[in-house]
Structure formats: structure tokens, C-alpha cells
Structure 1
Amino acid sequence: MDLLYENTWKAPSPYNPKLKLKDIYIYDTTLRDGEQTPGVCFTKEQKLEIARALDELGVSQIEAGFPIVSKREAEIVKAIASENLNADILALSRIRKEDINKAIDCDVDGIITFIATSPLHIKCKFKGKRLEDFFDTIVECIEYAKSHGLFVAFSAEDGTRTPLEDLIRVHKLAEEAGADRVHVADTAGTATPQAMEFICKALTCSLNKAHVGVHCHNDFGLAVINSIYGLIGGAKAVSTTVNGIGERAGNTSLEELIMSLIVLYDVDLKLNLEVLPKLCRMVEEYSGIKNPKNKPIVGELVFSHESGIHVDAVIENPLTYEPFLPEKIGLKRNIILGKHSGKRAVKYKLKLLGVEVEDKLLDKIVERVKELREKGEKIDDEKLLEIVEEIKRIKD
């Protein structure tokens, strides 16, 4: 196949910015926030397999679970931590020493500790309390975790509905106590891209050592773009889940985020992209949440083509109707025959099957393909060969 862009796997665009984003990394929470999807409960073996695949992909940190939830959960988190993966293993923890001790017992590399900070959450969850009433506890718990050699990320739950001055105040407090990272948590998925950029810029300018991470939910379908705008605003870390699973509408989709950053924003994340399809299928199977066929990046139809005009162009150069070559992530394109197919598509499919026919027969085969598809029959390889034999018999 003669590619117009012989030495690239994506067609360049003069409009997509090349962001100078440095030291960006992923901390994946499929095994914790992803598992909080109603009805999802991974087994120990499933969690271990997913963790190994995430590590093979090359994510920097894996949030393995919430050890205080149960004895079984703590055992699984400890088992993942004992795998000696390249990724750092994190555990979720409230600002309570018993939670931190559970995480320490699991031999994790770090914790993500959190408390709600928005007026709505404080009013409904901590009746009669103010945000300031938790400051001493936040400092004490972060210092305690750091004294045990843990990486500490502090997350202000419902941060995007917290007044900015309060968000900055609590995160500066966490930084002064030793937090390595602070999170902008869009807990209800209500932020806009512009708001995420604004908040992350304000936080980044206010902090000295700690860097910013973003944790976005997808209630309005904005989790991926909100995460990207958080990075544009100065954040360094992004929370993701495989296939975007998670509570309600889910979290930032791992595969959509990384391919958007790599293809559209020209960010080198140094990931083993060929692992993506395997990882996404694995989580799809283990979670029981089936991906739609048109799921971005890994959906069954994403690299499939039927329309005659499209197929003709794709045969000439796939980048005409594909944003990047599927081989980059270990997938293959598929030419599907149907009512929109033309001669070139049918001829191409027959060539793949080792069949050559003269043009007069090809016209009749194309006509028969359209006719049968409009009657509801699926035109797979076997059916196509049957059509060829049928047309040949009629000719003879």
C-alpha cells in the first residue's frame, strides 16, 4: 500500500497544537474507582491480571484499591503490591490513621487521601462542621504517611464546586504538610474545560513543590477534554480508568485520553500502545460492561469501512479516513461489504481471499452483494465466496 505519508502513522494537521507538556503521567484507578461502578466486583485474579496489563502498557501509578473496605480488599491490594511491577502502587485512604495503617500493611508505595471540601458536601456530610475544622487532621495524617516513607497525594473531593480560595488554601496546607501531589477532583463531572484550565493554573501558581493531578468524571461527556485542559493549565498527572468505567457515567477513559494526547497534541507518553486492545477487552470481560461497537479507539467499528467512496480512498491511503493507523495499537482495519460497497471494495476483499474475477462478473457480484445486504443478510467472507460461485454458475 502506497502511503502518502510514508514515514508516519498519523496524518498531520496544521490546526492541532503541539503542546510542550513535560513530565505528564497517568495514575490509573480502574481497580478502585472503576470497580465502584455499580455491579462491578473484580476477583483477586482479575485485579492482578489488569494490574499486570496496566504495567505492561507503562502507566506510572496504579491505584490498586481501598484497603479499609474489607479484609479481602486489603489482601488483594497487598498481592498487587508484591508483584514488583514497574508502576508505583497506590491505595485510597481517608484522612484517618487507621486507613493509612491499612495501606502501610499492604506495602504500597503511596496513598491518595481525601476529604470533601465543597460547601454542599460539608453541609450534608459533616453537619455543623466547617472546612477549617479538618485542617489539623489533614496535616497530621499527611505528616504521618510521609513519616512512613509513602508518596502522598491529597484530593479535595468535589473540588470543582469548592470556592477557589478554599481550594487553594487546603491544597497549600497539604503541600506544607508534605503532600507530593494535590488533586483537582471533578467529583460530579460538572466542570467545563475552561474551568479546569483556570483552576489548575491558579493552583499551579500557588504551589511551590507539590504538583497538580486531575480526576474527572464523565457525567456530561467531558472527562477526557477536561483532563486535557487541566494539563494545559499546568497539571502533571491524570487519573484514568480503562474503557472509562466508574461511578455513574464513569471516569476519564484511559485509551481515549492517551491517544488524544499522542495523536492530536503530539505528546510523547512513552507507552506500549499495542497493549491497549488486550487491556480494554480484559476490563470489558471482567467488568461485564460491554463497549459499544463504535467506542472510540478500541471499538469494533472504529477501523471498519463500508461506504464505497471511503473504501476507495482508504485502499489508496488509510489516513484519508483514519486519524491514525490501527497497527499502532495492535489492531487491523476491516473492509465491510454492504449496500454502500463499490467495485473496488469487492475486488479488494476478493484479492485478500485469493480470488480474481473479470470485470463483467465483478459488476454482477457487486450487484448481488447490495441486493442481499438490503434483504438483511450479512456479507462475510464465506458469504462472498458463495456469491462468487453463484454468479459463476449463472454465467456458465
Structure 2
Amino acid sequence: MLHNPNHLYIFDTTLRDGEQVPGSQLTTPEKIIIGEALQALGVDIIEAGFPISSPGDFQSVVELSKVVREPIICALTRANKGDIDCAAEALKYAKRPRIHTGIGSSDMHIKYKFNSTREAILERAAEAVKYAKQFVEDVEFYAEDAGRADNVYLAQMIEAVIAAGATVVNIPDTNGYCLPEQYGAKIRFLKENVKNIDQAIISVHCHNDLGLATANSLSGIQNGARQVECTINGIGERAGNTSLEEVVMALKTHYQTLGFQTNINTKQLYPLSTMVSRMMRMPVQANKAIVGRNAFAHSSGIHQDGVLKHRENYEIINPEDVGIDQSEIILTARSGRHALKHHLERLGYTIDRIDLDQTYQRFLALADEKKEIKDDDLLRLMGDEAETNFKNGVTISSLQVITGDQSDPQAIIKLNYKGTEREATASGNGPVSATIKAIESIIGSHNEIKEFNIHSIHGGSDDVSKVDMRVIHDNQSYMGYGFSTDIVRASANAYLDALNKFV
């Protein structure tokens, strides 16, 4: 079979092998949504299902064949005419159909699954390919449990099915048994000992029972395979299949060494991973390579400092290349000043105005208590009513507000401003308005408040309130955040938080 020797074909079996995970079954409309996303991703082949297994699977293959037109649409069968007839019928609308038929190749399967002999299995394999060839030109043969098969017998089987018309020969490590060196050697043995191997593409299909699916697939590619069978997020039977995103990014990262290209639009990997996880009800583990939530997250102070100085110090992949906006710097008690500085700047604080050493000590105390610090925690730290994190910052010494039905609200406030304590009194149309006016009378300037929002942190009458406001000064916008069990005090803290960014 003629093909570009530098092109690596991506055979996605999320909708067949991936769907064999208990509790992850998909409806036909859901399969179509994922199938269209796989087409947009750029996979070469989509294994749409096992038509004989159920009416639903049959219909899914039919409908996918109608809608998905660019990739090859493949249907799985066993090595018998009934399965192949069913698959051919399901694929009748496919623009580029493929039948994937096969049988066991290991002595274990021959004896205990088929109760047969090597000779009889060899004959059934060739007959199945010949029969499938009557319906479609593109026939893939799988030698099930090839990972444990005798290499000499496996070579005889592969030679026979290619002679019968197979265009692709799949060498599955069905039980995830092989070590990478063993699996690579098996592929190399076939390349060197199957006389007609140049007439077919060798495909690798690895399972992850020992956590080696991706490694084995790459070893197979290095030794002559040109198609890799995989699933989104590595989902699949038992411990799963080769992860599509892992093998694709390994090929891309090591292109200079391996030299293989795919048609995959890698920026679609993370969005598709999220879609498949949601629709198949299979959460992605946090430390999953490429698409796990921690794949581009850094919490160690040493790593954070290195990443902030130069991303490639601790990242071999640009997160944007897989559809993730940016790396995450997670604030914990292990974080250093550089990470704290990064987040404060991101939240709009000017570091030159902040007493970073003092702020960092208070941050560590909070991080020991809360384990992971979010934006609201930082904003509360910076908007604390009792402390200032700013060099020469304006702070409140005391605030008293008088309200009643018969008079306008009045605020009496004492501020530490420019090294001295100053007091002012002001009235307003509400207690917050009066407090802001009193502050402005001390600092000697009026600033427009464009936004003012009050949030309850937890709920309840004794809850801490969060106030955020946007203050305009010299045509520049500054956000301020304040926290207190008293809404007026939270508002004053928010105004001073904004003020300290420009006074």
C-alpha cells in the first residue's frame, strides 16, 4: 500500500474501544458530536463502532458514515461472515469505508478462547480478509493478543492476510503485556520477516495495563509502524488505551528525532479532551499528561520562579499548543515571592508601592491555614481592614458612622496619611457616600467611582462582605477590594485599596 513514509496515521477508537468503559456509553447523537470534533481535530481514521454488537452500535456507524466525510470510517468485526455482512451494511453510506476484522494470534487465545489450532486460525484469518475485500477495498486485520504471540507464527499470519488483501495489519498488545523494547522488536521482526509487508501499513494498538501504552506505541513507530490506534484521554477497556494526545505531542516534541508528522490540530486537544470527559462521564485525572488540570500547573517556589523567568525552564510544551490559555502558578505555602508578585501584578497591584516582604509573611501565614490561595484570598489579604501592604499606604485608624431618619448620614474618620493621623467629618446621601467624602477631604482630591459591587462570601447575617469598586483617577482605572463584616468598613477598605495604587 502506497503512503507517505513520514506521515503517521492517527486511528481514533474513542467511539469503539473507548466506549467499552463501564458507564461511558454514548447515544448516537453524542457519537456524532464527538465524531465531528474528531474530524475537526484531523484524525485519519475513526473506528465508529462494532455493528453486530447491538442495533444501537449499528445505527451509530450508519449515521456517522453519513455525517463525517473526511476521515476513513471503520467498523469492527470478528472473523466471521455474519459480522462482516453487518459491518458492510452499516458502512454503505461511508465515503471512505474500512472493515476491521481479525482473530486471536497467541497460543493462549488459540487454545483457550477458540479451542482450535494454529493452522485452522490461520485459515480463518485469511478467509475473513478475502470475504471483507468483496465489500470494501480498505481492509484492516487485527491479530488479537499479538503482544503474547509467537513471532514466527505471527509473521506467517500477517503474510497470509496481506496476501488475502489486507491493506493495514494491526499488531495489538491487547493485554498491555509487552515492555517497549519487546514490542518494538516484535514490529521490527515483522518488518524484516514478512515478505509482502511493504504492501500494507503496520498499525500499533496498545493497552495500558502496565502503564506502557504510549511508550509501546512509540517503540512500535520507531521500528516501522505507521498507524497508531488511540483514544482521547486514553480511555478504554480496563486500564485504557494509548492516549491520542500523549502520542501526538510526543511526536511533535521529538520531531527532530523521530521525523513523523500527523494531521492533528493540536490546539483542539484540550477542548476535545474536556468534551469527551464530560459526555462519557470519565473525569480526567489531575496529573494526566497533556490535558490534566495539573499538566501546566506549578506550585513549588523553585519551579514557579523558573517558569516566570523563562517558561521552558520547566515546560517542554507550550500550553497554547494544546489549547490551554496559559500555565498556572498555584499559590501555596511552598510558593516564593516571585509567584506572589506575579499574581499581585496580575490583579492590578504595582509592586513598587507594596511592602512585599511584609505582604509575603502574611501570605505564608494564610497559606499554611488555607493550603491553596485563590484570587479572593489575595484580594482579602490586600484589602485587610487592620493592615496595610503598601509602602507609606493610607490606612484607617478609626471610622464612626451616624445614621438616622431625621438627618443625612455622617461619617467621622481618622486616617494615617503621609506619616500623620488626620481626621475628617462628612455627610452624604448614604453611609458609604459620607465615608468616601470624608476620605476625599483628607487626601484633597475627588475620584469618580464607576463601579460598586457588594458580595456575600458565605451567607448569613454575620458574614464577611466583599466590596469591589472601580475608581477613576487622571483617566486611569483602578480596582479596589475590601473585606469586613461591616459593609461600610468594607467599602472604605476597597476605596483605600484603589487609592493606594496611585496616591
TM norm structure 2: 0.72
Pick the aligned partner of 2:374 from 380, 388, 392: 380
Query: Structure 2 vs 1, CA of residues 370 and 28 (structure 1 numbering), >3 Å: closer, same or farther?
Result: same
Does structure 1 residue 39 correspond to structure 2 residue 23?
Answer: yes
Residue 225 of structure 2 aligns to which amino acid in structure 1? A
Q: Identify which of structures 1 and 2 has the higher relative contact order when contacts are C-alpha pairs closer than 8 Å and 6+ apart.
A: 1
Cα offset, 1:68, TM superposition: 0.1
Q: Which residue of 2 aligns with 1:352?
A: 346
1:106 maps to 2:90: yes
Question: For the residues of structure 1 that align with 2:14 and 2:185, how far apart are their CA atoms?
Answer: 27
Q: Distance in 2 between matches of 1:137 and 1:226?
A: 28
Query: Where in structure 2 are the equivalents of 1:200-239 lying within 5 Å?
Result: 200-205=187-192, 206=194, 207-239=197-229
Post-superposition offset of 1:136: 3.4
Q: Of the candidates 133, 137, 151, which is equivalent to residue 124 of structure 2?
A: 137
Whether contact under 8 Å (1:204, 1:211) holds in the other structure is no
Deviation at residue 49 of structure 1 after TM alignment: 1.5
Structure 1 residues 393, 364: closer, same or farther in 2, change over 3 A? Answer: closer
Aligned length: 376
Q: 1:299 aligns with which of 270, 292, 296?
A: 292
Shift of 1:182: 0.8
C-alpha separation in 2, matches of 1:23 and 1:270? 8
Supply the distance in 2 between the matched residues of 1:255 and 1:150 (Cα, whole angstroms).
30
Measure how far apart 1:38 and its partner are.
2.5
Matched, 1:73 2:69: no
Aligned partner of 1:199 in structure 2 is: 186
Q: How far apart are the structure 2 equivalents of 1:175 and 1:68? A: 24
Secondary structure of 1:259's aligned partner: helix
Q: 1 or 2, which has the higher helix percentage?
A: 1
The alpha carbon displacement at 1:57 in A equals 1.0
Structure 2: which 5+ runs fail to align?
396-503
| 8 Å Cα contact 2:43/2:263 also seen in 1 | no
- Residue in 2 aligned with 1:252? 242
Taking a change above 3 Å as real, the CA distance of residues 366 and 393 of structure 1, as seen in their structure-2 partners, is closer
Query: How far apart, CA to CA, are the structure 2 residues paired with 1:191 and 1:34?
Result: 21
Q: Which residue number corresponds to residue 16 of structure 1?
A: none
Quickly say closer, same or farther: Cα 1:326–1:208, change in 2 above 3 A.
Answer: closer
CA positional deviation for 1:184: 1.0
Q: Which residue of the partner structure matches residue 12 of structure 1?
A: none
Mean alpha-carbon deviation: is it higher for 323-332 or for 265-274?
Answer: 265-274
SS at match of 1:91: strand
Q: Helix, strand or coil: the match of 2:34?
A: helix
1:5 aligned residue: none
Instruction: Read off the aligned partner of 1:113 and give its amino acid letter.
Output: T
The AA in structure 1 aligned to 2:173 is D
1:1-396 equivalence runs, <5 A:
22-107=6-91, 108=94, 109-127=97-115, 129-205=116-192, 206=194, 207-266=197-256, 267-331=260-324, 332-358=326-352, 361-390=355-384, 391-392=387-388, 396=395
Displacement of 1:164 in angstroms is 0.9
Q: State the shift of 1:144 in Å.
A: 2.2
Percent of matched pairs sharing the same residue: 38
Q: Aligned partners of 1:208 and 1:274: how far apart in 2?
A: 34
* Structure 1 gaps, min length 5: 1-19
> Is the Cα contact below 8 Å between 2:266 and 2:322 reproduced in 1?
yes
On the 8 A contact 1:337/1:369 being kept in 2, the answer is: no
Would you say the 8 A contact 1:188–1:219 is kept in 2? Answer: yes
Q: Secondary structure at the match of 1:120?
A: helix
CA positional deviation for 1:359: 6.1
Whether the 8 Å CA contact 1:37–1:247 is kept in 2: the answer is yes
Asked if the contact 2:169/2:200 (under 8 Å) is kept, the reply is yes
Q: Distance in 1 between matches of 2:309 and 2:157?
A: 57
